[in-house]
Amino acid sequence: MNDNHELLVLFCGPSGSGKTSIVHKMLEIFPQLQFSISATTRAKRKNEVEGRDYYFISLAAFKQKITDNEFLEWEEVYQNGYYGTLKSEVHRIAQLGKVVLFDVDVEGGLNIKKQFGENLLDIFVRPPSMDELRRRLIARATETDETLMTRVLRAETEITYANRFSHVIVNDRIEHAEQEATRLIRQFLFVKGVSGITV
């Protein structure tokens, strides 16, 4: 399925687990990593930039890409709210000589894990509790009552998947979570012989 030169680091976990904050920190620490930009049908939030945060595409265009088998993984996260990873995005990053860095939801993470085996470092980020997750989602102020409830219910299910991933980081304090993520990535890149890495 995959070319040997493609190395991937995957972070996944429920919305509000803090995985995106960790991913941004890893990009600062490791110049060898390049973020894989997901495609989505959801509306662009304030401060989000096309082609940096997401590829924002229409529902019709997304469904056409599903039909054309252009996704590595995709999911309808909520009604008509699709997210996915384009195969072309992974190839683009690999051709730059970079390691692909994913920030995806749990189902997407499991699909990617199935396809890449030993060339993938997979890390599940979980909140210390559901109460804390709910608090973080409310603090974002990006959710309606309805989408908040949807995300909390999804998160309760997604947390049960943690044991299907190779590594689990409990994000009780962001500094600790970032230190653990840095350690895991440094070890993985070193073992894979990526240049510029020492342990």
Under 8 Å between Cβ of 6 and 118: no
The whole-number pLDDT of residue 138 equals 83
40 has a pLDDT exceeding 90: yes
pTM over 0.75: yes
Nearby residues of 130 by Cβ (< 8 Å), 6 or more positions away:
152, 155, 156, 159
- Read off the pLDDT band of 46 (50, 70, 90): confident
Q: What CA–CA distances, in Å, run from 146 to 82, 105, 143, 151, 156? A: 17, 19, 8, 9, 16
- Domain ranges for the chain: 8-191
Residue 117 backbone phi and psi in degrees, to 5? 50, -125
pLDDT, the chain, mean: 91
- Read off the pLDDT band of 5 (50, 70, 90): low
Is 8-191 in CATH node 3.40.50.300?
yes
**Which of these ranges, 77-91, 116-130, 145-159, has the smallest mean pLDDT?**
145-159
More confident residue, 150 or 171: 171
Q: 50-57 long-range contacts, Cβ below 8 Å, gap at least 24?
A: 55/86
Q: Could you identify the residue written with the tokens 């919305």?
A: 15
Q: What CA–CA distances, in Å, run from 40 to 58, 76, 78? A: 8, 10, 11
